[in-house]
Structure 1
Amino acid sequence: MRAVLHGGDLSAARRRHPDAPQPWLDLSTGINPVAYPVGTIAGDMWSRLPDGEQERALIAAAARRYGVAEPARLVAAPGTQALIQLLPRLVAPSRVAIVGPTYEEHQVAWRRQGHDVRIVADMADAATADVIVVVNPDNPTGRLLARTELRAPRTLLVVDEAFIDFLPATASVSGTLPPRTVVLRSFGKTYGLGGLRLGFAIAEPDLAARLRDELGPWVVSGPALAVGRTALLDNMWLQATKERLEEDGRRLDAILTAAGFKPLGGTHLFRLVEQADAPIIVQRLGEHGIHVRSFMRQPQWLRFGLPGDDAAFRRLAAALGTLAS
């Protein structure tokens, strides 16, 4: 199977546009452009192995943040991508339905392990599957299914909630986990720390234990344990960030509408739009040193991450303004 293309591949963009203005404005990811302030990390975090007390403190913070009453249901991992690749190895060959189009790594991971995978339009079309995978809210469309629509099949329901942190708690199934369900929660996207590599699975205790066994010891670095715990307990930062992102989202919507894009959806961290000449727009923006996310299977789609400051907003608006000239 071909490799999946992702946002954030600035090295490839630089090769395509060696004369583009510097620095590049990377709007191709769904990562918060204003990161959580990490502060100073103690030197011994880098020089010694992470210990069990640190991990338990992180799990307790994550349980509080995600509304999980039993910490035994939580598994910390070096990013949710590791969990996406691990889960298909723990399930016998099955009929897997992925509600899509969506984040393609789910499809790649299940097919790599020999499962019979099909992409379906909605939960009704997935009813006969053994395993159902849903990204909720979806990446890249932003489609959000209500909790009442999420029903586990015979084997497993996987709900990837990577972009749900800024929605009301009632949107998530983390705190009221249905039977035969595993929820994935990303840390790096919300907190703008994708390079930290931290994510969580929430599952029934037996599956959570199997995931921990497969991941092995010391799977999350000491710095990630410390930063993650502090950030997950910082509710004031999360609320202020939500308000900022909502304001910035409205500002981005206005810029994209003025440029003639058709809105298709999005989340607090990105917008999906449609334009007939999207490949040309990607090329032209690249010439301006601006990188956006395109999609091979949906060539008219573009995903714009939120600019991180006023200068970035002005730069995007100016570049889009030249497209009409």
Structure 2
Amino acid sequence: MQDQTLLPVEHGGSLARAGALFPHAPRPFVDLSTGINPHAYPLFDLPASAFTRLPEPSRIAELCAVAARNYGAKANEIVAAPGTQILLPLVAELCSRGTASVLGPTYQEHARAAAVAGHEVREVRSFDALAEANLAVVVNPNNPDGRLISRGDLLALAAHMRAKSGLLVVDEAFMDVAPRAESVADAAEQGGLVVLRSFGKFFGLAGVRLGFAISAPEIAAKLAARLGPWAVAGPALEYGLHAYADKAWQESMRVQLAQQAARLDSCFAGVGIVVTGGTGLFRHIAIDNASRLHRHLGERGILLRAFSDRPRELRCGLPGSEAEWLRLEEALAAWEECE
């Protein structure tokens, strides 16, 4: 029998699955089941060479340099990959097989990737319990509840892991919309620490498939060797170079997302639902009738992220237009009448 921990897990964002679950819902769906920015970085025309030629090593180096500046790291500490997902098992293989502890509940692919790499995986609820593992994983801020572990606590754990030849992995996929002073990306060079950063979530271009690992130079070199040449496609390379250099768009977008997250909180509060956490890209709800709310909204073509192992919890992303906001507000008003 196949080990269930090695099988892919369900995630938000599947319109095919939503269609099967809510076959009579109005279309198009308002997909709030992901934590991806609905206001994507503006599309632009790409040079034909982005599609017809292999990426030049100098352009990859340029991308790593501009991304490193964004994250407070050095160019020789960062590795570009076709999304952070592909990095998870490669990073897990950096330390000897043993116990991998993941601070949960969180993004389930970390546990699966560690199992693929041969570790004995356990999910822990206490940050202090991570110190016992060979491989410790923290998603910061956490998905789906937005829990934030302080920079000081993470650096202390990284030092502990370094002293015993272990490894701390900090997934900062949503740090672009969190207090950036809590990032540990600038400390990865000290060793015992790998920081993962995502491009697609904040820039709203998940389909581009671009992500980065930040670590001590010798670890970065190992990861780059595992990925091999041309790991990042030409179109992803071009979008990364443009978007990371566009500081004005980034700062404006952070303000816009914070405003819309507050608006989403108000929408739920208006019908007596208290938001229990989240980030600027998603909000977290924990209520007894979460499954009924999920179905109520789904039947009206509005998708939230539900969790089969945590039936009281929901995650809600941001609507992308006034029309989508209106549909959500109307559906929530109907929910209040039902209650």
The TM-score with structure 1 as length reference comes to 0.97
Uncovered stretches (5+) of structure 2, i.e. residues with no partner? none
Say which of 17, 23, 27 aligns to 1:22: 27
Correspondence for 2:169: 158
Correspondence for 1:171: 182
Say which of 117, 120, 123 aligns to 2:121: 117
Give the letter aligned to residue 293 of structure 2: I
The count of residues paired between Structure 1 and Structure 2 equals 324
Deviation by residue 1:252-289 (Cα, 9 ceiling, x = unmatched): 00111122323221001000001212112222211111
1:39 aligns with 2:83: no
Q: The residue matched to 2:185 in structure 1 has which SS?
A: coil
Using the TM superposition, give the Cα deviation of residue 246 of structure 1 relative to its aligned residue in structure 2, in angstroms. Answer: 0.9
Within-5 A mapping of 1:53-202: 53-68=58-73, 70-150=74-154, 151-152=157-158, 153=161, 154=164, 155-177=166-188, 178-202=190-214
Q: The residue matched to 1:316 in structure 2 has which SS?
A: helix
Q: Distance in 1 between matches of 2:215 and 2:70?
A: 16
Cα RMSD for the two superposed structures: 1.2
Deviation by residue 1:33-65 (Cα, 9 ceiling, x = unmatched): 000002111122111111112101111110111
Correspondence for 1:48: 53
Within-5 A mapping of 1:179-258: 179-258=191-270
Uncovered stretches (5+) of structure 1, i.e. residues with no partner? none
Q: Distance in 2 between matches of 1:179 and 1:48?
A: 36
Q: The residue matched to 2:187 in structure 1 has which SS?
A: coil
Cα contact 2:137–2:170 (8 A) shared by 1: yes
Deviation by residue 1:224-244 (Cα, 9 ceiling, x = unmatched): 111101101111101100111
Farther-moved stretch of structure 1 (214-223 vs 164-173): 164-173
Q: Distance in 2 between matches of 1:88 and 1:175?
A: 21
**Which aligned segments of 4 or more residues in structure 1 are displaced greater than 4 angstroms?**
none
Q: The residue matched to 2:169 in structure 1 has which SS?
A: strand
Bigger share in helix:
2
Give the letter aligned to residue 97 of structure 1: S
Q: Distance in 2 between matches of 1:173 and 1:16?
A: 40
Correspondence for 1:308: 320
